[in-house]
Structure formats: C-alpha cells, structure tokens
Amino acid sequence: MKVNAQSVNFNADEKLIDFVQNRLDKLETFYDRVISSDVYLKVENTSSKENKIVEIKLNIPKDKFVVKKQCKSFEEAIDSACSSLERKLIKIKEKQRVKA
C-alpha cells in the first residue's frame, strides 16, 4: 500500500515513518483492496502532555475513512488509529460478504 506521511511543525525521523508504514501494511490483512493512505503527524502547542495528533485518511474503492487520534506519543496514537481502522475494515468486509 502507498503511504503518504506528512509531519506538521516538526521533522519526523526515519524510525517513525517506518513504524507508520509497517503498522498500516498490517491493515491489508483485514481488507486487501486498500488503495492508499495519507498520514498527518502534528504537534499541538499546548501545556497538555497529550499533544501528539495523528490523522489517517484511508482510501478504499468507493469509500474513504478518516481517523484522528491524540495521545502522549505518536506510536500510541498510530496504534489507536489503526485499531479503529481495523474495526471499520472488518465491518466493510462483513457487509460485502452478506451482499454476495
């Protein structure tokens, strides 16, 4: 799957980009027709410790999912967002099975 990662207000290191790629590649085990994804990594300037924001836009045929999570670390936010996407992809696959 093609992953387009963008970091806003900071420079993301290779480890973080690789983590995003590996985690999103696992989504293809739940739904194999994923086209691409756009990942936005943002740091919010607040006094709160949970200032890391991850927004993932997942493109599949005839649909698009957007998930936004805010956590203490990018890894935690990515895991949380991917878990939400996994549930959505499983629902889509179940609906297609029912139609067939």
Instruction: Enter the tokens of residue 38.
Output: 């756009």
Whole-number pLDDT of residue 95: 87
The sheet carrying 63-71 orders its strands as 2-8, 36-43, 52-60, 63-71
- Global pTM? 0.91
The pLDDT of 76-98, averaged and rounded, is 92
pLDDT at residue 91 greater than cutoff 70? yes
| Residue 78: count of CB within 10 angstroms of its CB | 23
d(CA 27, CA 43): 25
Which pLDDT band holds residue 82 (cuts at 50, 70, 90)?
very high
Amino acid at 25: D
pLDDT at 100: 65
* Residue range 9-18, pLDDT digits in tens: 889 899 999 9
Domains of the chain (ranges; CATH) run 2-99 (3.30.160.100)
pLDDT digits (tens, 9 = 90+) for 19-75: 999 999 999 999 888 999 999 999 988 888 889 999 999 999 989 999 999 999 999
